[in-house]
Amino acid sequence: AHRPARQMAPTPFIEMTSGYFQRGVGLLPQQGDSSPWRLEQHYGKDSALFGGAVDDPALEFRRTDQPARTA
């Protein structure tokens, strides 16, 4: 996607209201105010942006109670 011609307000990538989070919010990644520059942090909603299955050998999907593979 290309950046839109209109001005876009930056918003925090993760929206939390905790004091410690708010004090450091300027140091954290930002996102845009609308799709596709804004993620909902919800797989069902965000997966439409991917356009299909994510098939990348760098990704490993496993249960957290199993040890990671070593190369």
26-64 tens-digit pLDDT: 888 888 888 778 888 888 888 777 776 667 676 677 777
pTM of the model: 0.51
Note the pLDDT of residue 19: 93
Average pLDDT, the chain: 78
What string of DSSP letters covers the chain? -PPPSS----EESS----HHHHHHGGGS-EE-SSTTS---S-HHHHGGGTTS----TT-----TTSPPP--
**Paired tokens of 62:** 């496993």
Given a contact cutoff of 8 angstroms between Cβ atoms, the answer to whether 33 and 17 are in contact is no
15-30 tens-digit pLDDT: 888 999 889 888 888 8
